[in-house]
Amino acid sequence: MTVEEALEVLGLELGADAEAIKRAYHKRLKTTKPDRDPEGFKRLRAAFELATAFSDGGDLLAALVAERLEDVTAVEPEPSSSPEPAPRTSVEVVRDALEHGRIDEALEIVTAPQWATVLLDDFDGSATHVTSSVAKVAILARPSAFDELQARHPDLVEATDVEMGLLLVIRRDWEHLLAHCELPKPLFDIIVQNPVVVGERRRSLARALGRWYWRDPAAAWDVLIAILRNHGALGPYVFGLLDDYEDLVEDPASVSVDTDATPREVLRPLTTPFAILAFSTATAVLVLAMPDDPSDTSMLGIVARHFGALFAGMLVLWLEALAYRMWPSIRRRFVHACLVHDLLPEDAAWAISGHVFLQRAVARDLLVLLCHRVARLGAG
């Protein structure tokens, strides 16, 4: 406190003596009680002690002049070229935690009682939006924390949001999967954080998933089978999720795979024997169904024989599609061949001419399509 400020607090003029200072102090002490206004009392006491120290008027004047001279001659510090950044708001802290995968930190903040005050002051909607984002991540990552968040803010955590509604639909399938299968961290992270992940974090998660696949494609295949097997909407959800990462695929033909054959050549060990079998079966049916009397050329007999041969051939082709489903190694090599030749499995399937059931089986093989999308993230 300066001398000028002390005189202002006491209500004195320059030149007051010790007695006047004491009277002014006791007068203001009646309205500035230490138990009611501790800060005001401290300020009053400091002013009294400073004024008493310069109780002679001349000393007060000298002290005041010295202060004014200091103010005039003081050199103002140059403004800093890099001012300190403003402190971050709680909304910014939560958003940063979500973007960097610190889910527990974000949940701890938005489930605290003080967060209700932040929502009341949410004039621009940022707190509401970030609360909804935390809820979307918590549905799969921390179900119990999501339930708590939903209880605290039921109006903000609703299934009217399309993405949140979908996550609530697959929640039970997700919990059932985790109870029976240990998901690798890259796959867990990309599924859980997908609703909020952006920028470099998004790229990092995608690359980690691709690297996980190529470390052991056979083991990755088994995990992806577990996702699709008896888990309702979870498989299609993961498939659609990975479609959103298509922009991160750079050069899928540069991966090192276990085959350099075309997709059609990869399937040849399956298609060739079954094509021969289908032709042989149809021919055998035609021969065996020939009438004993060569002169019997009735139209009904001819149609029946040819229909029987066609049915037998189609049955063999149906068995071919069934054999494809039961041959995981050839399906995996088919995925890798599609990568090498930069083809989508559904497009490569229609190049298998003459194998109608196999074409349909490959084009609709969700496991092959899912593996292809995961493997592409590790290319380049």
Domain ranges of the chain: 3-73, 87-158, 263-376
Task: Please tell me which residue, 58 or 300, carries the higher pLDDT value.
Answer: 300
Q: Which residue has the higher pLDDT, 136 or 199?
A: 136
pLDDT score of 274: 87
C-alpha to C-alpha distance for 208 and 220, rounded to whole angstroms: 13
If you average pLDDT over residues 332-348, what whole number do you get?
A: 82
Residue 4 has pLDDT above 80, yes or no: no
Q: What is the per-residue pLDDT for 72?
A: 37
Mean pLDDT of 241-245: 79
Tell me: pLDDT of 68 over 50: no
Instruction: Check: pTM over 0.75? Answer yes or no.
Output: no
Highest mean pLDDT among 145-154, 196-205, 316-325, 338-347: 316-325
Q: Is pLDDT at 77 greater than 80 in this prediction?
A: no
User: Where is pLDDT greater, at 303 or 205?
Assistant: 205
Q: What is the pLDDT of residue 205?
A: 86
Task: For residue 82, name the pLDDT band (cuts at 50, 70, 90).
Answer: low
- Mean of pLDDT values over 243-256: 62
Q: Where are the beta strands (DSSP E) in 111-164?
A: none
- Quickly name the fold that domain 3-73 has: Helix Hairpins (1.10.287)
Report the alpha-carbon distance of residue 342 to residue 336 in Å, rounded: 10
The string over 228-259, giving b where at least 16 C-beta atoms fall within 10 Å of a residue's C-beta and e elsewhere, is eeebeebbebbbeebeebeebbeebeebebeb
**Is the per-residue pLDDT at 58 higher than 50?**
no
Residue 257, pLDDT > 80, answer: no
> CA-to-CA distance for 296 and 290, rounded, in angstroms?
9
Q: Is the pLDDT of residue 341 over 60?
A: yes
What is the average pLDDT value for the chain, to the nearest integer?
77
Instruction: Please give the residue that has the higher pLDDT: either 366 or 62.
Output: 366
Please give the Cα distance from 16 to 59 (Å, whole number). 11
Local structure of 24: helix, strand or coil: helix
| pLDDT given for residue 167 in this prediction | 86
Tokens describing residue 246: 């298509």
pLDDT of residue 59: 54
State which amino acid sits at residue 133.
S
Is the confidence at residue 203, as pLDDT, over 60?
yes
For residue 175, what pLDDT band results from cuts at 50, 70 and 90? Answer: confident
Residue 67 confidence (pLDDT) above 60: no
Residue 246 has pLDDT above 50, yes or no: yes
In the numeric block, which tokens belong to residue 6?
């002390």
The pLDDT of residue 35? 63
Instruction: Say whether pLDDT at 197 is over 60.
Output: yes
- The tally of CA atoms less than 13 A away on the side-chain side of residue 317 is 19
The secondary structure of 286-312, three-state, reads HHHCCCCCCCCCCHHHHHHHHHHHHHH
Amino acid at 185: K
Q: What is the predicted pLDDT for the residue at 70? A: 46
pLDDT at 259: 59
Residues 6+ apart with CB under 8 A from 192: 103, 137, 140, 141
What's the token pair of residue 315? 């049955």
Angle 341-347-350 from CA coordinates, rounded to 5°: 115
- Amino acid in position 329: S
pLDDT over 70 (residue 344): yes
Angle at 64 between CA 62 and CA 69, to 5 degrees: 95
How far apart CA 88 and CA 374 sit, in angstroms, is 37
